[in-house]
Amino acid sequence: MTSGQNNLVDEPTRSDIDAIAGPLLLEFGASWCGFCRGARPMIDAVLARHPDVRHLRIEDGKGRRLGRSFQVRLWPTLIFLHTGKELARRVRPEGEDELEAAMNCFQDSGRI
C-alpha cells in the first residue's frame, strides 16, 4: 500500500484501512474523473495545512470492493477516519472551507 497526496493507490483491504492508527483521509476517485481533477487543487491545499493527517487516494470503480464497503457512490468522496472509525464524509466538496470544517472532526474528537 502506497500513501501520498499525489498518488492513486492500489486498493488496500478494508482490514488494512481499519488497522491504520490515527487520523486518515481516504479519497475515492478515478484518474479520468473531471470532478476529481477539479477538486484536486483544493484538496491538496487543505492537506498541506494538515501534515499530521495521513492521506490515501484510492482509485475506485466497478468491481472495487473498498469503495463499496464505504458505500461510495460519487467521486470524489472523502472519508475522514480515525483508527477505522468514520468521523466525517464529504462528497464532491465545493470549497476549501467545507474541507477545513471536515478536518475539524479530528480536533473536535480529541484525536489530533
Number of domains in the chain: 1
Distance CA 102, CA 44 (A): 14
Closest CA to 9 of 67, 51, 49: 67
Which residues, including other chains, have CB under 8 Å from residue 66's CB and lie 6 or more apart?
A: 11, 12, 13, 14, 17, 28, 58, 60
pLDDT higher than 60, residue 2: no
Q: Is the pTM of this model over 0.85?
A: yes
Residue 92's domain comprises: 4-108
Q: What's the CATH number where 100 sits?
A: 3.40.30.10
Is beta strand 54-59 parallel, antiparallel or unpaired with respect to 4-9? parallel
pLDDT digits (tens, 9 = 90+) for 13-57: 999 999 999 999 999 999 999 999 999 999 999 999 999 999 999
Q: Longest C-alpha distance within the chain, in Å?
A: 36
